[in-house]
Structure 1
Amino acid sequence: MGTTTPYIDLVGIPSGQVTLSDRRTERSWTVDLAPFRLGALPVTQEQYAQVTGDRPSAAQGSERLPVETVSWRDAVVFCNSLSRQEELTPFYGFDGQGEVVVSEPSADGYRLPTEAEWEYACRAGTGGPRYGALDDIAWYRGNSGERPHEPGGLLPNPWGLHDMLGNVWEWCWDLYDPEVYGTYRVLRGGGWFDEHWSCRASVRRRSHPTFRVDDVGFRVARSVTG
């Protein structure tokens, strides 16, 4: 395990409401959200190594690159490990079959954002498919050189969150569609290898919770408690 607790810059997100949609099922639904905090940047390779001792990423050259080649389950374990390092209450637990569950819904520890929280924070009060001109805010196939980049180098959204679109896809807590896809979890945001149409606030992707690939990472959230 790592011995140094990394600094995670969290941005306060106000309460509000967001409407999500799924093009495959042509379904939409509205979610009311309490205030929460979300990482200004995706978790980096350096931060991940400080917490876990592991360096799984395929991209090399800078420890400030976003961590990738991490599964949804890896991200959950990171959240719990960082919580313990900071003497916070872990948000997640494991049931008798080893499946991840929310064991402490009022915990002050780190967690993955819900899908609704992610889209609400990404939009940051804007109404279009993106919160700015794509080349100004996101690394995608058209400008990335087909590689990830250090987070924070492009313009943030109006709430100060960087790289919500492009660079790496980000794991969210939610099941995608359990009746059809079982345990598959939601991915959001688009990545460095994606075409422009994948880098939109509403785009949903899914994968198995143990899936690892070089354009998928995550950022952390914390509930506002007390």
Structure 2
Amino acid sequence: MKKITFYSILLVSILALFAFNDRNPNSDFVMIEGGTFKMGSKASDRAADVDEQKEHEVKLNSFMISKFEVTVWEWKEFIKANKMKMPEKPKWGWQDNYPINGITWNEAIAYCNWLSKKEKLQPVYSKKGPNIVCNFKANGYRLPTEAEWEYAAKGGSLSKSFRYSGSDNLDDIAWYKGNSNGTPHTIGTKLPNELGIYDMSGNVWEWCWDWYNKDFYKLEKNDNPRGPEMGNRRSVRGGSWDSQPNYARPANRISTEPNKTHEFYGFRIAKSIAK
């Protein structure tokens, strides 16, 4: 009887191990139900910067977005597989559960394609001459568009119209200049927003797909907008551990050339949902 019990326990343990190693990669994603929302800043918001779009209505299809920012550990797996080097080591050292930082837009795109191939999905990005093309119909991983990012940060269809992503009290949901002690922190250690997404305000700035143009919203169709066709700088969202509260508002935006970075730049990934 004892032998049967022992082997039964052993078998259960082995099966549990396989189940863990074969986990569903979508378990770290949130499905965002499509809908219509007000993107940009209200005219009455005195904190709005000149970079920010004025409030306008945008319609989005459903999509998936990661609960967490891409971590140092996940980035290490990527560079190991591709025989690359880590970015310059930050003063706090590389902590595996911290969000990766010091990443260019081009590197974030490369990570998305690598992860897609690793999980036997169709890569989203390809080159057309000197330009990167995004196939939004592909089932692989990609960066969110600015509209998707802002919709998710504002809580999607569950939005309670908080000032920041998940609360009117920034200390509840973000690592920023007022509480970070000069470093990023382990992902998911502040409260999530209405959709269960963490760190969309603070911790690291997050790259988005779109070329930056502060006035393009005046021309674009408001049905799943994906930004200008061309540009010089890509949009970045969310604020960081080194940001003042104003930058942690979901409508706030900055931009940087895609081959450049700063120590507070990271990203999270998204995924299209087939119709």
- TM-score with structure 2 length normalisation? 0.75
Residue from 88, 97, 100 that aligns with 1:64:
97
Deviations 1:146-166 (CA, angstroms, capped at 9, x unpaired): 101011001000110000100
The answer as to whether partners of 1:5 and 1:51 remain within 8 angstroms in 2 is no
Amino acid at match of 1:223: S
- Map 1:77-96 onto structure 2 (within 5 A): 77-96=110-129
Q: Which residue matches 2:60?
A: 33
Instruction: Indicate how the Cα distance of structure 1 residues 31 and 74 shifts in structure 2: closer, same or farther if over 3 A, else same.
Output: same
The answer as to whether partners of 2:39 and 2:151 remain within 8 angstroms in 1 is no
User: What is the root-mean-square deviation in Å for CA atoms of aligned residues?
Assistant: 2.3
Unaligned runs of 5+ in 2: 1-20, 42-48, 217-229
Give distance in 2, aligned partners of 1:177 and 1:199.
20
- Map 1:92-171 onto structure 2 (within 5 A): 92-97=125-130, 99-102=131-134, 104-124=135-155, 125-130=159-164, 131-132=166-167, 133-171=169-207
Give distance in 2, aligned partners of 1:5 and 1:217.
27
Give the structure with the higher percent helix: 2
Give distance in 1, aligned partners of 2:78 and 2:38.
35
What's the secondary structure of 2:206's corresponding residue?
Answer: strand
Structure of larger gyration radius: 2
Instruction: Indicate how the Cα distance of structure 1 residues 216 and 143 shifts in structure 2: closer, same or farther if over 3 A, else same.
Output: same
- Count of residue pairs brought into register by the alignment: 221
Give distance in 2, aligned partners of 1:29 and 1:150.
34
Q: Tell me whether 1:55 sits opposite 2:82 in the alignment.
A: no
Amino acid at match of 1:44: T
Q: Which residue matches 2:71?
A: 44
Q: Which 10-residue stretch deviates more, 131-140 or 20-29?
A: 20-29
Q: Which residue matches 2:226?
A: none
Q: Which 10-residue stretch deviates more, 52-61 or 11-20?
A: 52-61
For residue 176 of structure 1, report the CA deviation from its aligned partner. 1.0
Deviations 1:97-141 (CA, angstroms, capped at 9, x unpaired): 2x2111x32100000000010111011112132121100100001
For residue 5 of structure 1, report the CA deviation from its aligned partner. 10
Calculate percent identity across the aligned residue pairs.
36
Point out 4+ residue stretches in structure 1 off by more than 6 angstroms. Answer: 178-181
The answer as to whether partners of 2:191 and 2:198 remain within 8 angstroms in 1 is yes
For residue 61 of structure 1, report the CA deviation from its aligned partner. 4.6
Q: Which residue matches 1:188?
A: 237
Unaligned runs of 5+ in 1: none
Q: Tell me whether 1:24 sits opposite 2:50 in the alignment.
A: yes
Give distance in 1, aligned partners of 2:258 and 2:160.
30
Residue from 219, 241, 246 that aligns with 1:197:
246
Q: Which 10-residue stretch deviates more, 163-172 or 194-203?
A: 194-203
